[in-house]
Structure 1
Amino acid sequence: MISRRGLLGLGGITLVAGCVPDAPPATTTAGDWHGTHLADGGNPLPDVTLIDQFGQPYNLATGPTTRAVALFFGYTNCPDVCPGILADMATAKRRLPAEMVDDVTLIVVTTDPARDTPEVLKEYLVRVDDSFVGLTGDLETIKPAAMSLGIDISEGKQLPSGGYEVDHGSYVMGFGEDRRLAVVWSQIAPADLKEDFERLLAA
């Protein structure tokens, strides 16, 4: 049974753990947003220092210097959902007007740091989009940071190969200049995500 937890600060929106597509949450979307917009803002980006794909310390709260941040928790051995989400994030950013492309930081924090070393993340993200910031670190640091945003992480089923899956929430989360959670996306087309990136930058 896949576990469910309330997304902290989202007034009852539910996250579904597991590397599978999430069902759309009960919407609180305002205006023309395609994702679930949080008019009053949610929890902040966690103030934790992890290691990026180049082996350098990176503070999740203070490291991004752009006006907006799009954050996803996933892992490189995810069989299908994570690669698709990361590709959609990259596509949406590339479709932004030229003057906005550098105003959004795309971040993926691994939910499987035992296998996702900086070197593994670097090789993986080069194939997706090398503008991503890929972060790894101790699971004991990553799990509370994820949970502060309502993302639960747990080891999933064992695979015949001897490996394992990792259960985790599969929402993409958007943060504005105040670094508080502003919008949550689930199962959204790149064109719609691109439009919401523009709204996030204009907010």
Structure 2
Amino acid sequence: MTRTHTTIFILVAAVALVLGLTVNKVLSSKGQGDPAALLDAGIVLLPQPRTLPALTMTNQDGETVALDQLKDDWTLLFFGYTFCPDICPATLAQLRQLKSQLPEVTRERLRIVLVSVDPHRDTPQQLKKYLGYFDAGFQGLTGEEASLQKLANAVSIPYIPADTSKENYTVDHSGNLVILGPDGTQRGFIRAPINNAKLAEQLPGLVSGS
């Protein structure tokens, strides 16, 4: 097993452990809908909200955004990149479809944000162009590698920075989504692969339960 494969294995195992440790506590949670149905839909809620680090990033319009500005609405963070050959376009296409399956009141309270794990290539202009292929309402964030790593680690979605000296390099990253509540704290995860039919049933109750 190569060093890269070993690192990937360790990261995946760490995320699995975090998710696994929350299951029993989630089953006893109140006011968030049916816990068993949420888990069946891939929604794993944390036993306690998790505060995000105080970081500043740049959005798809080139504007400075502090993470604590991600408030008032619910947010789904997806860590990916615009040159991703498979998981990113597939996930964003699914999220576009998911939006169409949600009631209008839920759509209005849910933002979807792509956090780039490839700041070397993902300029704000590139993010905006790419996200426009899927949904004009999707938002993007990029920033310094250190800030992106700090955020990814804080929400337990680690990734492995790429060797940018290689032509057509790819970035190893998770397909899980991070759920942020309207107070800007992390409430949980949505496990990949996402199931639109089940999420469309469970997200309205989760969002309205805030």
| TM-score normalized by the length of structure 2 | 0.79
Measured in 1, the distance between the counterparts of 2:9 and 2:19 equals 14
Selected match of 1:187 from 168, 188, 193 = 193
Q: What residue is the counterpart of 2:182 in the other structure?
A: 177
Preserved CA contact (<8 Å) 1:117 1:136: yes
Could you tell me which runs of 5 or more consecutive residues in structure 2 were left unpaired when the two chains were aligned. 27-34
| Greater Rg by CA | 2
1:18 aligned partner: none
TM-score in terms of structure 1 length: 0.81
Q: Residue 172 of structure 2 aligns to which amino acid in structure 1?
A: D
CA contact (8 A) 1:156 1:164 kept: yes
Give the CA deviation at 1:106: 0.7
Contact residue 22 and residue 44 of structure 2 kept, 8 A: no
Distance 1:196 1:79, change over 3 A: same
Query: Which whole-Å CA distance do the structure 1 matches of 2:46 and 2:122 have between them?
Result: 35
Q: CA deviation at 1:45?
A: 3.5
| C-alpha distance in structure 2 between counterparts of 1:93 and 1:47, whole Å | 29
Unaligned regions of 5+ residues in structure 1, if any? 15-24
Give the C-alpha shift of residue 87 in structure 1. 1.6
User: Equivalent residue of 2:108, what SS?
Assistant: helix
How far apart are the structure 1 equivalents of 2:110 and 2:63?
20
Post-superposition offset of 1:156: 4.8
Post-superposition offset of 1:53: 0.6
Q: Is the 2:48–2:187 Cα contact (8 Å) retained in structure 1?
A: yes
Find out whether 1:145 has 2:147 as its counterpart. Answer: no
Aligned to 1:35: 42
Which of the two has greater strand per residue?
1
| Larger relative helix fraction | 2
In 2 relative to 1, CA 163–95 (structure 1 residues): closer, same or farther, beyond 3 Å?
Answer: same
Aligned to 1:77: 83
**Identity in percent:** 29
What secondary structure, in the 3-state scheme, does the structure 1 residue paired with 2:111 have? strand
The answer for the alignment partner of 1:123 in structure 2 is: 129
Deviation (angstroms), 1:131: 0.7
Query: Do residues 54 (structure 1) and 61 (structure 2) align?
Result: yes
RMSD between superposed Cα atoms in Å: 2.6
